[in-house]
Amino acid sequence: MIAGCSTTSTLDSVQAPQAVPSKYAAIVVDANSGKVLFEENAEAARYPASLTKMMTLYMLFEAIEQGRLSPSSSIPVSAYAASRPPSRLGFKPGQSVDVDTAISALATKSANDVAAAVGEFLAGSEEQFAQMMTAKGRQLGMRHTVFRNASGLPDAGQQTTARDMALLGIALRKRFPHYYAYFSKQAFSFNGKTIRGHNRLLGRVEGVDGIKTGYIRASGFNIVTSVNRDGRWLVLTIMGGNTAATRDAHVRELIERYLPRATRASATVAVAG
């Protein structure tokens, strides 16, 4: 599990440039040891936005491992799923998406139509799937997270914390290392087109290998970032950025400040399955 905080923003005077004060939250975790290197409002209730899809993917990866479906399986798209607002791939009711494409669409494009289709396929309804997501979160130690949908589209009841999202980011890599490369994709091909992702840190910041961005008006610009350099591994959550650019600049600042303080790979974080 994530250990207690050792360094606070008060001590280090880390600034969150142009973050919305009522929405800002952040945490930096040494993922090798579980030690918290920095936190600010880390347990305050926040809207996850499309960080939600990290749990949708966790559930999908688990279903694959359980043999309930394979990467080539087809997921039907209902009228409800097809009607979800952007971002989406634009499926029509009655069409289907293979699991491999669905994973890329969720991790890279953050497609809301695909998220709803996955939820319906795995649980019969998106509402039931959200209950399963919440229960899985509790198993992982996400004590303050409640999911109401599979996508992160606005819902006043769908809330999380920066700490819970960091815990989920760590769990995804540890539990599903063979699927984690999907979070590193900057683009994927669909119907002959190149679909580019939203994570501008990939390929631009040394060691960054994922994982997910998110935005709705109520949340501000969110991100969970994983960075690995020289055996050191950080997972950072930033929530409530005013723009994607200022959020990303803050991530860069935190990486450069705290990565040298992280332990090299020798210890592991205990994460429930």
Binding residues: 212
Q: Which residue among 78, 110, 151, 226 is the active-site one? A: 110
136 catalytically annotated: no
In what helix (H) or strand (E) does residue 195 lie, and over which residues does it extend?
strand 193-196
Annotated binding-site ranges for substrate: 212
Q: Which residue among 23, 53, 109, 185 is the active-site one? A: 53
Question: What's the distance, Cα to Cα, between the start and end of the chain in Å?
Answer: 12
Q: Which residue among 23, 33, 35, 50 is the active-site one? A: 50
Q: Which among 114, 108, 118 has a CA at the least distance from the CA of 194?
A: 108
d(CA 174, CA 149): 24
92 catalytically annotated: no
226 catalytically annotated: no
In degrees rounded to 5, what are phi and psi of residue 121?
-65, -40
Structure tokens at 215: 């935005």
Q: Which among 22, 32, 9, 43 has a CA at the least distance from the CA of 165?
A: 43
Give catalytic residue positions.
50, 53, 110
